[in-house]
Chain A
Amino acid sequence: MPEPSPQRSAQRTRPRALALPAVTRRVRRVRPYVWPLLLAVVIAALIPFRERLEDSHITLALLLVVLVAAADGGRGVGLFSAALAFLGFNWFFLPPYGTLVIADPLDWFVLLAFLGTSVVASHLFHQVQREADEARERTAEMTTLATLGAEAMTAPRAEGALRMVAHTTREALGVQACRVHVLRDGDGRATGTLESATATAELPSSATFPAGEGATDVEPVWLALDRGARVAVLDGGVVRVIASEASSLREALQGERALRLLIPLRAGARSMGVLDVEDAGGLALTDPRERLLAALAYYAALGVERARNERTTERLEAMHEAERMRTAVLASVSHDLRTPLTTIKALAHELGSLGDERSEVIEQEADRLNAFVADMLDMSRLASGRFPMEPTIVPVDELVSAVLQQVEGSFGARPIRVQLPSDDAFPLARFDLTHSARILVNLLENARKYAPGETPVDLTVQRDGAMMRISVADRGPGVPPDERERIFDALYRPAAARPDVGSAGLGLAIARGLAESQGGTLTYAEREGGGSVFTLSLPAAELSDIDAGHGGGA
């Protein structure tokens, strides 16, 4: 049996009660053959006085030696001493001396009583001793587990905890190798990968990541993981899956020698790792050892769970950091781009005032670039799910007027026909004014770009049950049926689009994203008589909602 890693055993005295699997270990002070010798000496010493001594004196003296022998040497030595004492007593002390013949029937009784007492006493001693041994084993188990638990939970990193579990398990069971396999990034063999912490006789507390290093056969590991069942590798490479109903491994194996045992480590219903113990000399299975193995598997599961949690936490932290960086970079890019754009626009205007007509183009292009930067910023914020939305109850009039204020400059003489609900109702909806205005500005600008000439664009507001529908309708070419959903994809550009129209194609994707993140929708429909209708639907609201839940009145 190899020694545990030297620095460890120097640090603490680890219980070794279970490290010798095949032999019941006892504390022995005297060699067993001393006792028959002592018995012979006592017998020899008593022979000169046998005429003067009564049977009871002799039997007591011999019994004393037998009991001490049994107490010290265990049942075997006790029984052997008892038999020897029985023969010696008969031969040397019961007349006729020198024979095993018993003359007096009363001597029969003495002899049998002596034998009976010796045997019973030996048995009792043995019993007591076994119980003491078991108690010692239990204590050792408890100490092992307590140490393991504390180490598994306090090891500075989860990887260290797994290594600790592998090392302690190997030591506690006295096997050649112990590995703890962890399933990474998946649910099973198809999608996951394995990582393993390994402790072997040669490398008592080393860890190897990932799994499958050297000659280790990972097939049984996958089997245990996928089935969620214990797996035994028997002599001759036979692999046996042990049904989970079978409580005892020893019974399930029916005496066959296992060289390797794999216990699935579970978190809830899922197996997330495997405890894998191996010994080329065979694994001896007793009830206490199975119990210990189950307890070790429990700790291994804790360690695995911890490793997984740590990984998740690390990943989340990395994501947060990436997100923070992205926001910072975008904010900085948008600021850094705006400064030159401002300068360009101002200089272009100055050129224009000097009579250079091309300056107008420069200004327009600067505006386009600025719009593009804004789109990129919005797209990124939408993608990260961190768009600041403040839906409040707003009169739809306000939305319409804010939108018209922004777009009518670029529409020039081209009319935007606004139609509010015909009844005298005061249309209210719950939305974020700034972002909804951005959606409608986008739709109106698209209509201006894609619909021909001076055809009017219609902006219509209608109440439809719980929704307020605001639609922008044009007399443009419309969108072919197979492109009607794709137009909402980021970076989509209609096949027939003129290359100088629009920006990077983010517009409708952003518009839909903005609509959905405030509880609305943005849809396309073909317009009767030709053209497109884009409809922004927002949750309708009532005047009474304004005070609802706030107690006070205006």
Chain B
Amino acid sequence: MTGTPRFLVVDDERQIRRAVAHVLEPLSGTVSEAATGREALTLAAAESPALVVLDLGLPDMDGIDVCRELRTWSDTPILILTARHDDQATIAALDAGADDYVTKPFSPPALQARVRALLRRAQRSNGSEQGRTVIEAGALRIDLAARTVDRGGERVHLTPTEFDLLATLASNAGRVLTHGFLFTTVWKGRVFGDAQAHLRVHVAHLRRKLEDDPVRPRHLQTELGVGYRFVTD
């Protein structure tokens, strides 16, 4: 990869591609544009972009399939553009390997923030921090090896399931994790009652134990209709 990051923007609407490119310019990168899924995959293979912004409604192929295909040979962060009322497509794209999503019409600062967070995360996992066992977020210190959590220097008692859930979220900090992903990772597909309700109750418990104000969580954030996101800062 060269010094300046290269972005790939995929959308069949030229105006949207231009708008996204304007938003990405201040991040001092160069922007390539693709109007179709095929074009996107070709460009992604040729240019190895640092990040892909992908619209789900493409004329030639499903955006979800673009995610899936891209993921077979690339770890580059994928940010999808979606419409409200289309949680199912968003979830499917995230499960197919996308990292985050923004609903149209997006606010430019929010898009910029998401892109920055994804780039940071990608840098971290490529760099020296890979394989680390301790995650720090605000007053929290999560030791993945020792399976302990400290909040402001004090040990917090978590149940094994609560710890697994926190560890999964924290090691994917910045990414949106869907309910389905969390079930299979934390509960390993074991059958139990209302899976989604279990997950929500566990998140609520974690918030009461870890957050300063549980109804205004700083770290364990809800993505309505989609899943959860762990925010480090």
Contact = CB atoms under 8 A, between A and B. Distances in A.
Interface of A: 334-335, 338-347, 349-350, 353, 363, 366-367, 370, 374, 377, 392-395, 397-398, 400-402, 404-405, 408, 418, 420, 426, 428, 433-434, 437, 543, 546-554
B198 A343 contact: no
Contacts of B105: 338, 341-342, 344-345, 366-367, 370
A374 B225 contact: no
Nearest to A432: B225
Contact of A552 (B16, B107, B193): B193
Nearest to B207: A397
Contact of A550 (B13, B84, B87, B193): B193
B201 interface: yes
A339 B85 contact: no
Contacts of B201: 395, 426, 428, 543, 546
Contact of B214 (A339, A394, A397, A554): A397
Given A404-B215, A437-B224, A543-B201, 10 more contacts: A338-B105, A339-B13, A345-B106, A350-B22, A377-B85, A408-B216, A434-B87, A434-B225, A546-B193, A546-B194
Contacts of A370: 105
B193 A402 contact: no
Closest 4 CB pairs of A and B: A346-B19, A550-B193, A547-B193, A349-B108
B188 to A, nearest CB: 13
Contacts of B197: 392-394, 546
Interface in B183-226: 190-194, 196-198, 200-201, 203-204, 207-208, 214-217, 221-222, 224-225
Given A338-B83, A347-B19, A401 B217 contact: yes
A349 B23 contact: yes
B216 A404 contact: yes
Contacts of B192: 547, 550, 552-554
A187 B216 CA distance: 60
A400 B213 CA distance: 12
Nearest to A346: B19
A343 B200 CA distance: 36
Nearest to A402: B222
B159 to A, nearest CB: 10
Contact of B200 (A344, A349, A394): A394
Q: Looking at B19, B84, B197, B221, which has the most chain A CB atoms within 10 Å of its CB?
A: B197
A545 to B, nearest CB: 8
Contacts of A543: 201
B158 to A, nearest CB: 14
Given A401-B207, A405-B221, A426-B204, A342 B104 contact: yes
Nearest to A330: B85
B104 A392 contact: no
8 contacts: A341-B104, A341-B105, A350-B22, A367-B105, A392-B194, A434-B224, A437-B224, A554-B193
B109 interface: yes
B108 A405 contact: no
Contacts of A397: 204, 207-208, 214-215
Contact of A374 (B84, B161, B200): B84
Contacts of A343: 15-16, 18-19
Nearest to B216: A404
Interface string B80-107: 0001110100000000000000001111
B79 interface: no
A463 to B, nearest CB: 16
A395 B109 contact: no
Nearest to A430: B197
B177 interface: no
B20 interface: yes
A49 to B, nearest CB: 114
Nearest to A347: B19
Contacts of A398: 200, 203-204, 222
A395 B18 CA distance: 42
A140 to B, nearest CB: 66
A398 B225 CA distance: 12
Given A393-B194, A546-B201, A420 B215 contact: yes
B57 interface: yes
A530 to B, nearest CB: 26
Contacts of B214: 397, 401
Nearest to B211: A401
B84 A401 contact: no
A374 B161 CA distance: 38
A551 B192 CA distance: 7
Given A418-B215, A426-B204, A554-B161, A342 B106 contact: yes
Contacts of B85: 334, 374, 377
B83 A395 contact: no
A346 B23 contact: yes
Given A349-B23, A397-B215, A339 B16 contact: yes
Contacts of B13: 339
A395 B200 contact: yes
Interface in B20-56: 20, 22-23, 26
A376 B198 CA distance: 34
A440 to B, nearest CB: 12
A448 B225 CA distance: 25
Nearest to B81: A342
Contacts of B107: 345, 349, 363
A550 B194 contact: yes
Nearest to A549: B193
Contacts of A350: 22, 108
A345 B193 contact: no
B193 A553 contact: yes
B182 to A, nearest CB: 14
A338 B104 contact: yes
Contacts of A334: 83, 85
A402 B224 contact: yes
A335 B20 contact: no
A342 B204 contact: no
A345 B193 CA distance: 44
Nearest to A353: B26
Nearest to B109: A349
Nearest to B25: A350
A552 B193 CA distance: 6
B197 to A, nearest CB: 4
Q: Looking at A398, A543, A552, A553, which has the most chain B CB atoms within 10 Å of its CB?
A: A398
